[in-house]
Amino acid sequence: MKISEVKSTTREQRITPHTHIKGLGLNEEGKAFQAADGFVGQTSAREACGIIVDMIKSKKMAGRALLLAGAPGTGKTAIALAIAQELGSKVPFCPMVGSEVYSSEVKKTEVLMENFRRAIGLRIKETKEVYEGEVTELSPEEIENPLGGYGKTLSQVIIGLKTVKGTKQLKLDPSIYESIQKERVTVGDVIYIEANTGAVKRVGRSDAYATEFDLEAEEYVPLPKGEVHKKKEVVQDVTLNDLDIANARPQGGQDIMSMMGQLLKPKKTEITDKLRKEINKVVNKYIDQGIAELVPGVLFIDEVHLLDIECFTYLNKALESTLSPIVIFATNRGMCQVRGTEDIVAPHGIPVDLLDRILIIRTLPYTLEDIRSIVQIRAKTEGLTLSEDALNHLAESGVRTSLRYVIQLLTPASILARINGRENITLEDIKEVDDLFYDAKSSAKVLAEYQGLYKFKQ
């Protein structure tokens, strides 16, 4: 008898810059692994963030914020995302850039408040009466049209549902049949019908039909357990900003003026404080009744030095609010002028009164070994083969230039290798591509040397 091991079908694939980040990569004692959860290096910053995560979980982070300070390309955004991942998969993560607040349509403070509320989730738990099971029978019954004519109208729908414990035959209203048709329900599908609203949801195809040959790829689900008629807890995740937008949108009538009003309405509308206070009252009521649970998420503001003095004073107030997410700032500036002032110079371009509320974590430049490991992982993810000499040269070049620059050389080098009839990237390919392209420092140096030639003569 031949026995063979089934190989893993998991794929290493990079979709966006930070999809590989799964967490901070810490052990049980809070010490960082050299390479884990998508991270390489930055051990001290990750360990510091591990303490921050513990503070958040024990509700000791109120009124404070976090600042990640470091050079470009040192993983500040990745660390912020990892903190959100450590807090839970359903925790909202809202990234923004400092320059987003400068809009011609909406106030700066409104943009900030919108993002604050986008980073606060509300988990609503609702117990509903549902009919769930595999469809065994689906027969619409028609009667003669009472208004006369040749047409027939739908009077009722008979549907049979089967679970592990038993079967039930239901008589449904014709309006529910429309929902059934929209969901494309057929015999053999697993569905559930809400008793109160009549909403129909198709879960998938019963796995009893998994051996059949279907033209379309189906998601097979097991036969539901328990009775056909049961009470089911439905959990819905929304953000406070979703509630704001839903309540701020005017319903409008059927007249032509209301249609014109919808068309002429500006693209963005500001939500009033009065509306937000009313929504907060309802939210607090739900929380007190145990219907809903508040899920504070992570608001990540990158390039925080681009905010001005008005935004910083507003952030001071917002951080003290009872409904506030975990706020993480990031910057690559040292001592610089606070935007919106003429003579105030402060660390990281943030006023000192706000800095007093902030815990600062520094991200350090990557070492030679870190860059080597990152390039190796990136090449493997993109399906490229690098020679040892090429890998070492890229690592040394990364220390001299930047990590982002050497990673960008991988794809052009692979194209060059294919042109030369090779599958693997050699040192010659890397050197040739390095001569063709400039890193930021080299480009600036060349421009500085020849800047005299670019001046216009009066």
Q: What is the pLDDT of residues 403-446, one digit of tens each?
A: 888 888 888 898 988 888 888 888 888 888 888 888 888 888 88
Residues 309 and 376 in one domain: no
402 lies in a domain?
A: yes
pLDDT in tens, 23-63: 788 888 888 888 887 778 888 998 999 999 998 888 888 88
Pair of tokens at residue 177: 């049949």
Q: Quote the pLDDT of residue 105.
A: 78
CB contact at 8 A, 330 and 300:
yes
Pair of tokens at residue 162: 């089967």
**Beta strands in 312-439, from DSSP E residues, in sequence order:** 326-331, 335-337, 345-347, 358-363, 385-386, 424-425
From the number of C-beta atoms within 10 Å of its C-beta (0-12, 13-18, 19+), residue 298 rates as: buried
- d(CA 298, CA 328) in angstroms, rounded, equals 7
Instruction: Using CA atoms of 169, 172, 174, 175 in order, give the dihedral in degrees to the nearest 10.
Output: -130
Residues 101 and 191 in one domain: no
Question: 36 has which bridge partners?
Answer: 39
- d(CA 111, CA 427) in angstroms, rounded, equals 49
H or E stretch including 141? Answer: strand 120-144
Residue ranges making up the domain that contains 111: 35-119+297-363
Cα→Cα distances 96→68, 111, 162, 231, 303, Å: 14, 10, 49, 41, 9
Number of domains, the chain: 3
Q: What CATH number does the domain containing 302 carry?
A: 3.40.50.300
H or E stretch including 172? Answer: strand 167-172
pLDDT in tens, 67-94: 999 888 888 888 888 898 888 878 888 9
Residues 137 and 101 in one domain: no
Q: Which residues contact 362 (CB under 8 A, 6 or more apart)?
A: 44, 45, 69, 70
Q: Quote the pLDDT of residue 147.
A: 64
pLDDT in tens, 153-199: 777 888 888 888 888 888 887 778 888 888 888 888 888 888 777 78
Q: Quote the pLDDT of residue 151.
A: 65
Residues 64 and 139 in one domain: no
Q: At what angle do helices 43-57 and 76-87 cross, to 10 degrees?
A: 30
pLDDT at 144 over 80: no
pLDDT in tens, 199-212: 888 888 887 777 66
Residues 383 and 434 in one domain: yes
Residues 330 and 305 in one domain: yes
349 lies in a domain?
A: yes
21 lies in a domain?
A: no
Residues of the chain with pLDDT > 70, as a percent, come to 86
Q: Quote the pLDDT of residue 260.
A: 44
Q: What is the pTM of this model?
A: 0.70
Residues 428 and 331 in one domain: no
Residues 107 and 157 in one domain: no
CB contact at 8 A, 196 and 86:
no
Residues 378 and 348 in one domain: no
Measured at the alpha carbon of residue 45, what is the angle toward residues 44 and 48, in degrees to the nearest 5? 85
pLDDT in tens, 367-394: 888 888 888 888 887 888 888 888 888 8
453 lies in a domain?
A: no
**Closest alpha carbon to 328 in 119, 47, 74:** 119
Residues 317 and 402 in one domain: no
pLDDT at 215 over 60: no
Pair of tokens at residue 351: 């006023």
SS3 of the chain: helix, strand, coil, percent, to 5: 40, 25, 35
- d(CA 252, CA 265) in angstroms, rounded, equals 12
Identify the DSSP state of 322: S
